[in-house]
């Protein structure tokens, strides 16, 4: 079965095509700047020359049509006809309490995702655009949705409730949902496999640090706490998101600066984090470069980012009464030698001992970066959210046929 996996952002669309007979990737790519003046499509067919095209792509329907054109292109294509794609899998960030696992797309499922837009105004509309666009371009092809929140539905009440009037949960389901669950689930299982130990015996802290970032405490193989909240804004400092802050700051700043709800949301989600503190970029590579050149604001941004990550690791070790494994994953976690080194050398109180040389090795494979004496195993595990989505889609669609 060939499966198209789609991860829709508000102005972007990432895709991968899998051949599930051997889980190989036939092609992958990215459409950026959808709805802006010039959109960019970068298509990478496996074993063939990649192609980048700049054009006007006003919405997701056109983006998917262009992607399908590339998949069947006579030079850059990987299949002779789109009918070879037998299923589409989508990443949906927010599944609320309704979705504890992945689901086949039906009218009811779509209606529920639409209802959840209220809880995830920045994320779920993009997912809906992706689902509708795939439906329009590939009528009749089964679609599956895989939720970032699903893995965290095992959190106990004391971890997911906020200390605010209970009526807000009863009426509006205001609670912690978390995100990146597909990734936390995948890397924690991969960690147990790497160590050749049953996951049920392990206390694992997974650090998914990319453009968005979250930590999860995983005990007996299930999520018991996670740093993102009702929306993906809470927790770590991120590329452009503030992470934790005193909630009283919001009405205070709204009042002082005469900001609307949308403006303050945009400030915290898009104009904060590394970007706000460094004043130059949301990209950890540029922040690290700035720090290495002795640039004060980049150094401060790095220090704040690292400090908050380290505090969360400490709090999740407390939440689980210990930690056996720490996993680093996603863009920053997999690639930033200096961030891992700085975090780990200050966790000696937990019995963590980082091997500086192992930490410097660059590889796309799961690897250990702690010493043989370390009481805590520290691993770098490349995440693969798309593969999990392809597997769930294959399983769910397969079961209907």
Ligand X SMILES: Nc1ncnc2c1ncn2[C@@H]1O[C@H](COP(=O)(O)OP(=O)(O)O)[C@@H](O)[C@H]1O
For residue 10, which phi and psi values (nearest 5 degrees)?
Answer: -65, -35
Does residue number 148 form part of the binding site for ligand UVW (CB under 6 A)? yes
The set of catalytic residues is: 148
Does residue number 232 form part of the binding site for ligand UVW (CB under 6 A)? yes
Exposure of 84 in the CB half-sphere (CA atoms within 13 A): 15
In terms of CB distance, is 77 or 239 closer to ligand X?
239
Binder of residue 89, out of ligand UVW, Mg ion, ligand X, none (CB less than 5 to 8 A by kind): none
Q: Which of 393, 398, 362 is nearest to 380 (CA)?
A: 362
Q: Does 33 carry a binding-site annotation? A: no
Does residue number 179 form part of the binding site for ligand UVW (CB under 6 A)? yes
In terms of CB distance, is 235 or 239 closer to ligand X?
239
CA–CA separation, 180 and 209 (whole Å): 10
In terms of CB distance, is 290 or 333 closer to Mg ion?
333
Tokens 């980049």 locate to: 298
CB 312 within 8 A of CB 236: yes
In terms of CB distance, is 1 or 267 closer to ligand UVW?
267
Q: At what angle do helices 337-344 and 296-319 cross, to 10 degrees?
A: 50
Minimal distance, residue 358 CB to ligand UVW, in Å: 27
Does residue number 284 form part of the binding site for ligand X (CB under 6 A)? yes
CA–CA separation, 353 and 370 (whole Å): 6
Does residue number 336 form part of the binding site for ligand X (CB under 6 A)? yes
In terms of CB distance, is 374 or 384 closer to ligand UVW?
384
For residue 373, which phi and psi values (nearest 5 degrees)?
Answer: -85, -15
Q: Does 211 carry a binding-site annotation? A: yes
Q: Residue from 42, 61, 72, 211 that binds ligand UVW (CB under 6 A)?
A: 211
Q: Which of 123, 92, 122 is nearest to 105 (CA)?
A: 92
Structure tokens at 348: 């000696």
Which residue's CB comes closest to ligand UVW?
Answer: 212
CB 75 within 8 A of CB 43: no
Q: Residue from 63, 93, 215, 275 that binds ligand UVW (CB under 6 A)?
A: 93
Binder of residue 93, out of Mg ion, ligand X, ligand UVW, none (CB less than 5 to 8 A by kind): ligand UVW
Stretch that binds ligand X, among 58-66, 157-165, 277-285, 350-358 (CB under 6 A): 277-285
CA–CA separation, 2 and 21 (whole Å): 8
Q: List, edge to edge, every strand of the sheet that includes 222-226.
A: 222-226, 213-219, 203-209, 325-329, 377-380, 367-368
Helix (H) / strand (E) containing 299: helix 296-319
Minimal distance, residue 82 CB to ligand UVW, in Å: 27
Q: Residue from 89, 210, 213, 290 that binds Mg ion (CB under 5 A)?
A: 210
CA–CA separation, 345 and 339 (whole Å): 10
Does residue number 382 form part of the binding site for Mg ion (CB under 5 A)? no
Residues making up the binding site: 7, 14, 91, 208-212, 283-285, 331-335, 385
Residues that bind Mg ion (CB under 5 A): 210
Residues making up the binding site for Mg(2+): 7, 385
Residues making up the binding site for substrate: 91
């Amino acid at each position: 079965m060939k499966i198209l996996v789609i991860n829709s952002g508000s102005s972007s669309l990432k895709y991968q095509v899998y051949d599930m007979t051997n889980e190989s990737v036939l092609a992958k790519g990215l459409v950026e700047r959808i709805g802006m003046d010039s959109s960019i499509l970068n298509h990478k067919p496996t074993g063939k020359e990649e192609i980048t095209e700049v054009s006007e792509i006003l919405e997701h329907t056109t983006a998917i049509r262009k992607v399908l054109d590339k998949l069947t292109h006579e030079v850059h294509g990987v299949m002779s006809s789109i009918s070879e794609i037998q299923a589409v899998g989508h990443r949906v960030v927010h599944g609320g309490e309704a979705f504890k696992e992945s689901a086949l797309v039906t009218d009811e499922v779509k209606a529920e995702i639409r209802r959840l837009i209220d809880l995830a105004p920045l994320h779920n509309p993009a997912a809906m655009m992706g689902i509708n666009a795939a439906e329009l371009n590939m009528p009749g092809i089964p679609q599956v949705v895989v939720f970032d929140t699903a893995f965290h539905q095992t959190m106990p009440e004391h971890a997911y409730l906020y200390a605010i009037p209970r009526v807000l949960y009863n009426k509006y389901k205001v609670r912690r949902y978390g995100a990146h669950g597909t990734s936390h689930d995948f890397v924690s299982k991969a960690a147990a496999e790497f160590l050749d130990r049953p996951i049920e015996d392990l206390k694992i802290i997974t650090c998914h640090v990319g453009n968005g970032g979250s930590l999860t405490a995983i005990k007996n193989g299930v999520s018991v706490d996670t740093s993102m909240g009702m929306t993906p804004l809470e927790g770590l400092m991120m590329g452009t998101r503030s992470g934790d802050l005193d909630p009283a700051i919001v009405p205070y700043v709204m009042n002082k600066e005469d900001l609307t709800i949308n403006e303050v949301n945009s400030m915290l989600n898009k104009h904060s984090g590394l970007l706000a503190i460094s004043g130059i970029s949301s990209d950890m590579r540029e922040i690290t470069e700035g720090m290495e050149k002795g640039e004060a604001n980049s150094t401060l941004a790095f220090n704040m980012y690292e400090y908050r990550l380290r505090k969360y690791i400490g709090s999740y070790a407390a939440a689980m009464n210990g930690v056996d494994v720490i996993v680093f994953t996603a863009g920053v976690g997999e690639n930033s030698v200096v961030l891992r080194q700085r975090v780990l050398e200050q966790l000696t109180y937990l019995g963590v001992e980082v091997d500086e040389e192992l930490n410097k090795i660059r590889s796309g494979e799961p690897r250990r970066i702690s010493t043989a004496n370390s009481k805590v195993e520290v691993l770098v595990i490349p995440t693969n959210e798309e593969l999990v989505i392809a597997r769930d889609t294959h399983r769910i669609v397969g079961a209907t046929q």
